[in-house]
Structure 1
Amino acid sequence: MGSARSPSWRSSGPAGPAGRGEGMAALHRHPGIRTFLLVWVGQLVSLVGSGLTAFSLGVWIYQRTDSTTQYALVTFCAAAPPLVVLPLLGPLIDRWDRKRLLVACDLVGAAATAVVGLLAWLGSLSLAHACVIVAVTSSAAALQWPAYSATVTLLVPRDQLGRASGMTQFAFAVSQVIAPLLAGALITLVGLVGVTVLDFATFLFSTTLLLVAAIPPGAPATGEPHGYWRDLPFGWSYVFSHAGLAALLLMFAAVNFFCELAAVLFTPLVLNVSTPAALGTILAVGGIGMIGGGALLSVWGGPRRPALGAVIFSALSGAAVAAAGFTVSVPLLAAAVFVFFFCQPLQTGSSQVLWQRTVPAELQGRVFSVRATVAMSAVPLASLVAGPLADRLFEPAMAPGEPLAATLGPFLGVGPGRGIAVILVVAGALGLLSAAAAGLFRPLRQLDEAAAPPPTAAPACVQS
């Protein structure tokens, strides 16, 4: 194993305590960094608020319908529309003023939250309303992500993009852990209406910070301007004309699918061998791991070779998924979940740095829309196939006396939940192999050379 002192894995910041301290002090005085921190705080608060409403609305739907199918329908309505919206509106991100676009997405989210609260207050909120509202809010959030990512490139020095990515992942992790805990208490105290009021306030806070932040309108375009229809396939053609970026995208598509497949089935896996309380404990441990990974990336800045980092952390995620299939021990399941979630910010952050450093700033809106579309497509696809794979194929095959159970039973056990364990082992192994195959692809490894920051780097001019 390589030493922690290996140059490939050193922080991208200045070497030495004195140099690091002086460098960070200079960064805090940098106008782009100050703007990024302002926007980041707003996004952190808004993410927590949105998580409150998402969790509370899910509880409300399940309590009113007592139907897993209808609950899953709302989840599908949140996952599917962005896959249509992003390819259609992605080409416009590089044309529109970035600040106005970010503010508009926040305002759409605030308006949708207000509608939920109003309908709940009037007693007329229905499943159909919920489906439409989550479709609108998920589409606005999906459009905001590539615009936000492309804006960070303009604000943050090139050699500090790893830390910025770490802070973004940290904010997401905190919202994923804190929001359900708060919402579980708030929904009993103030109900869905009260939760939406709080969420609306977080949107206003985020929007206010966006309005006062000195966000540049976008990177100046180079070359001849193109029409919308010519730009529509541009992001796809750009990615697949660069072999390294295409390999990175396809690796994450494969790893995301296999990991999402495991995520969908993890709850029934645990409930077949333990209690809901144990499941809650395991997921809490995973949340701690996710926050820890984001915090580490924020301080560390990520590996000097982010392509290698993306491959290694993706492979570790696959290994953790596979390991979860081999045990029924709650502590060991918690350990596997901790490793999995700890790696998520690190693999995503490493990938983010590669894209931000290698794709020209004026093209990032279109290209990042393609990234988001591919990443989000794993959720509905895995959700559609996970249930049938478990219920109709692997669970029956791992019942006592079945041939597959006789073969794999000595390793995985037999009976309820062991078919799901087979799926986790296979999915994790395929995720690990996908990452390993990508790591052997030379153009992907060469992205590290293209993404290497210069000794001193400055972002694009920030307008005041």
Structure 2
Amino acid sequence: MATNWKKTFTILFSGQIFSILTSSMVQFAIIWHLTATTESAVVLTMAGLVGFLPQAILGPFIGVWLDRWNRKLTMIAADSSIALFSLILGLYYYFGDPSLGFVYVILLIRSIASAFHAPALQAAIPLLAPEDQLTRVAGWHQMVFSVSTVIGPALGIAVYSAASLGVVLFLDVVGALIANLMLLFVPIRQSKPEVQEAPHFLNEFKLGWKTFVQARPIVIITAATAVFSIVFMPLATLFPFMTLSHFGRGGYSASLIEAVFSVGMILGGLLLAVMASKWKDITYICWSLVIIGLTCLASGMIGPGAFVVFIALSFLMGAASPFFNGPYMAMIQKAYAPEMLGRVISLVTSVMLLASPIGLLLAGPLVDKYGIQSWFFWSGVVTVLTGALLLASFKKLQVSDPAPQS
């Protein structure tokens, strides 16, 4: 591992960049299509809801299987399933115009497959990298994600405008095939579980929960993340609506905001990879929340003519994001044994994703009634307070509670 781990991650991330790129194209193209055809925040939040809810509900149970299944094969099967249903929806759009219900069903199925893929990848990372390099790898992961998402919205809207949504969905199939091909060359040495019989879900869930709560710092951060997810995650769906309704601009301006946010994430991920050992993970997390909150709050106060200011705020918001996501996942990977990571990561992911639909259900009606800026403003206030309270909690915790052990 000491000599080959960088080469391994080069191969792994080289494949994932294609999958994330095409998925980003699909995600933005679908959101923009629904925005342009319905002009309804409720429709957008429903699309977000069916994308989040399956992962939130299934996560704890999926984690039981992830700690027993081959994680590489799980990722390949999940990515292939996503590609298959992209193909089905693409064919429907190519030959006709599917109903909203059908679109929701496909998004639902894609979300179920994603519930297997994302935690399987995160649980595999500690098997591929030394423990003291996990925060640095998290920075690389954020860069790969950001490079793909910075290009994805622009390509998605370009292909959507020049051809159709069906063509965008077909490209997602190609991206998944490339990612799976590269993954075949990545050796993931996963120890076999001691228990071979079919697990009892309730007992395994309890075991995962008991393991999770043993690391008190992770529990505190996860609680803060749930609050953050309720107020912030709806913005990922509502960003195009802000561009359309408040600034009165079209698809290319909406894709510009997505691109600027992602450029910020690229630079933030690069900075995190360079500065990984400068400060503690929790320091990065708290200040990330404060900066994200301040940019959201400011976005909720600017006028319709300040689109350039919104661009700058989106950049800062994106640059701060890797300093939350990367260190948080690295803390989890360091705090638990590899054979339990599938359950713990799935459980943590479920907490975050279950909070997100709550935010989406609240955001849709409130945005339709009070405007998109109101959600930006108050989400910023809550996020700043969450970061400040989390920092205060960890100052007390350092005195009374030892750091978690892996």
Same fold, TM exceeding 0.5?
yes
Within 5 Å, give how 1:247-396 maps onto structure 2. 247-260=220-233, 274-276=247-249, 282-328=257-303, 329-389=306-366, 395=370
Query: Structure 1: how far apart are the matches of 2:77 and 2:399?
Result: 36
Query: Structure 1: how far apart are the matches of 2:102 and 2:53?
Result: 16
- How far is the alpha carbon of 1:233 from its aligned partner? 2.9
Within 5 Å, give how 1:12-23 maps onto structure 2. none
Give CA deviations for 1:61-92 in whole Å, capped at 9, x if unaligned.
Answer: 45555655444322221121111221222211
Partner SS state of residue 188, structure 2: coil
- How far is the alpha carbon of 1:128 from its aligned partner? 2.4
* Matched AA of 2:321: Q
Moved more, 93-102 or 192-201: 192-201
Query: Structure 2: how far apart are the matches of 1:65 and 1:285?
Result: 25
* Matched AA of 1:80: L
Moved more, 285-294 or 43-52: 285-294
Partner SS state of residue 232, structure 1: helix
Alpha-carbon distance change, 163 to 96 in structure 1, aligned in 2, over 3 angstroms: same
* Matched AA of 1:190: A
Give CA deviations for 1:310-366 in whole Å, capped at 9, x if unaligned.
Answer: 223223322333344454454544443322221111111111111111111110000
Contact 2:286 2:388 (8 Å CA) reproduced: no
Query: Structure 1: how far apart are the matches of 2:78 and 2:361?
Result: 29
- How far is the alpha carbon of 1:296 from its aligned partner? 1.7
Q: Does 1:434 align with 2:399?
A: no
Alpha-carbon distance change, 302 to 448 in structure 1, aligned in 2, over 3 angstroms: farther
What residue is the counterpart of 1:139 in the other structure?
112
- How far is the alpha carbon of 1:272 from its aligned partner? 7.0
Alpha-carbon distance change, 385 to 302 in structure 1, aligned in 2, over 3 angstroms: farther
Query: Structure 2: how far apart are the matches of 1:445 and 1:155?
Result: 33
What residue is the counterpart of 1:189 in the other structure?
162
Moved more, 326-335 or 162-171: 326-335
Contact 2:94 2:167 (8 Å CA) reproduced: no
Contact 2:28 2:153 (8 Å CA) reproduced: yes
Equivalent residue for 2:23, pick from 42, 50, 56 = 50
> 5+ residue gaps in structure 2?
none
What residue is the counterpart of 1:75 in the other structure?
48
Q: Does 1:163 align with 2:136?
A: yes
Contact 1:321 1:425 (8 Å CA) reproduced: yes
Moved more, 65-74 or 196-205: 65-74
Q: Does 1:33 align with 2:44?
A: no
What TM-score do you get using the length of structure 2 for normalisation?
Answer: 0.86
Alpha-carbon distance change, 370 to 441 in structure 1, aligned in 2, over 3 angstroms: farther
Give CA deviations for 1:108-144 in whole Å, capped at 9, x if unaligned.
Answer: 1111111112222332633222111111111211221
- How far is the alpha carbon of 1:263 from its aligned partner? 5.8
Moved more, 100-109 or 311-320: 311-320
Query: Structure 2: how far apart are the matches of 1:265 and 1:110?
Result: 25
- How far is the alpha carbon of 1:208 from its aligned partner? 1.0
Partner SS state of residue 345, structure 2: helix
What residue is the counterpart of 2:122 in the other structure?
149
Contact 1:314 1:435 (8 Å CA) reproduced: no
Query: Structure 2: how far apart are the matches of 1:431 and 1:32?
Result: 36
Ranked by relative contact order (alpha carbons within 8 Å, sequence separation 6 or more), the top structure is 2
- How far is the alpha carbon of 1:388 from its aligned partner? 4.3
Alpha-carbon distance change, 80 to 223 in structure 1, aligned in 2, over 3 angstroms: closer
Contact 1:243 1:443 (8 Å CA) reproduced: no
Percent sequence identity is 25
Q: How many residues of Structure 1 are paired with residues of Structure 2 in the alignment?
A: 401
- How far is the alpha carbon of 1:213 from its aligned partner? 1.9
What residue is the counterpart of 1:408 in the other structure?
none
Contact 1:244 1:447 (8 Å CA) reproduced: no
Give CA deviations for 1:169-202 in whole Å, capped at 9, x if unaligned.
Answer: 1122222221110011112333223222221111
Moved more, 260-269 or 194-203: 260-269
Alpha-carbon distance change, 101 to 317 in structure 1, aligned in 2, over 3 angstroms: same
Alpha-carbon distance change, 309 to 181 in structure 1, aligned in 2, over 3 angstroms: same
Moved more, 417-426 or 313-322: 417-426
Alpha-carbon distance change, 296 to 447 in structure 1, aligned in 2, over 3 angstroms: farther
Query: Structure 1: how far apart are the matches of 2:40 and 2:324?
Result: 35
Alpha-carbon distance change, 200 to 367 in structure 1, aligned in 2, over 3 angstroms: same
RMSD value over aligned CA atoms? 3.1
What residue is the counterpart of 2:72 in the other structure?
99
Query: Structure 1: how far apart are the matches of 2:51 and 2:277?
Result: 31
Query: Structure 1: how far apart are the matches of 2:380 and 2:400?
Result: 27
What residue is the counterpart of 1:461 in the other structure?
none
Contact 1:86 1:370 (8 Å CA) reproduced: yes
Contact 1:321 1:424 (8 Å CA) reproduced: yes
- How far is the alpha carbon of 1:148 from its aligned partner? 0.5
Contact 1:53 1:199 (8 Å CA) reproduced: yes
* Matched AA of 1:439: F
What TM-score do you get using the length of structure 1 for normalisation?
Answer: 0.76
Q: Does 1:84 align with 2:57?
A: yes
Within 5 Å, give how 1:119-130 maps onto structure 2. 119-123=92-96, 125-130=98-103
* Matched AA of 2:326: G
Contact 1:293 1:346 (8 Å CA) reproduced: yes
Contact 1:302 1:350 (8 Å CA) reproduced: no
Partner SS state of residue 95, structure 1: coil
